[in-house]
Amino acid sequence: MKVEGKNAVIELFRSNTKIDKIMIETSAKNQLQNIIELASKKRIRLQFLTKEVLDRESDVKNHQGVIAFINGYQYSNLDEILKVANERQENPFIILCDGIEDPHNLGSIIRTCECAGVHGLVIQKNRACQVNDTVIKVSTGACFNIKIACVTNLNDAIRKLKDKGVWVFGLEANGNSIYNTNLTMPTALVVGSEGFGISNLTKKLCDEILSLPMKGKVNSLNASVAGGLAIYEVVRQRKI
């Protein structure tokens, strides 16, 4: 797996993920000196190559002169996510992604979650986007600083969270106002897919369906935008 871009690679170092090697654009050595020094300290193999070589290696086509190689993304599990909340002495705050397929949406959601202090995300193993090179790039490496669980059955994960005392709220149109709902309790928010929203069974498992106010003629928001607004409503409430 490739990690591309200066910020994403720096976050990779901070996470202590094992790095196999790093390609550096020769003409960008001065701008990437901090990455070169970090790699040298950790005895990570460095390759200094032309921009043309990095362009060919790049999957996201915006490598900023640096590409790191790792042996796949290491997923967590639900218990590890809940452990983070316990260690911080906070009520759990988890995001569940129901069929998110666009890597740009997933990367954006992950970045927002990490910035907002969410304890972890749950994504699906089938018919949904996984953590890939594009997700890493869009998240600017935030995926290395937050727990992400990849599950076969999202509904089983919801049932387990509810057994642990977590309230599960789906984000959909025609629900109760998110601004009139207490989100300071142990909370999980379900963000639906770009085209179909939350699946019917998942919706039935939710304790409540919540909505953001819609004043315009378009009746839906982009998944990552809706998720970001809802996430920061939880942050707002918990800071009061």
**pLDDT tens by residue, the chain, 240 residues:** 999 999 999 999 988 889 999 999 999 999 999 999 999 999 999 999 999 999 999 988 889 999 999 998 999 999 999 999 999 999 999 999 999 999 999 999 999 999 999 999 999 999 899 999 999 999 999 999 999 999 999 999 999 999 999 999 999 988 999 999 999 999 999 999 878 889 999 999 999 999 998 887 666 788 999 999 999 999 999 985
Angle at 138 between CA 223 and CA 55, to 5 degrees: 140
The strand pairing partners of 197, in sequence order, are 193
Q: Answer for the pair 228, 109: CB distance below 8 angstroms, yes or no.
A: yes
Domains defined along the chain, listed by start:
2-70 (3.30.1330.30), 78-239 (3.40.1280.10)
Helix axes 6-14, 33-41, angle to 10 degrees: 30
Which of 40, 39, 48, 47 has its CA nearest to residue 9?
A: 39
Q: Answer for the pair 59, 1: CB distance below 8 angstroms, yes or no.
A: no
The set of residues, in sequence order, having a beta carbon less than 8 Å from that of 96 and lying 6+ positions away, is 121, 122, 154, 157, 158, 168, 188, 189, 190, 191
Predicted local distance difference test score (pLDDT) of residue 240: 58
Where are any strands of DSSP class E within 51-166?
A: 66-70, 93-98, 120-124, 147-151
**Cα-atom radius of gyration of the chain, to the nearest Å?**
19
Q: pTM of the full predicted structure?
A: 0.89
CA distance 83 to 68: 29
CA distance 96 to 151: 10
Q: Answer for the pair 233, 179: CB distance below 8 angstroms, yes or no.
A: yes
Secondary element (H or E) of residue 189: strand 187-192
Cβ–Cβ contacts within 10 Å for residue 3, how many? 25
Angle at 46 between CA 41 and CA 50, to 5 degrees: 145
User: What spatial distance separates the first Cα and last Cα of the chain, rounded to whole Å?
Assistant: 41
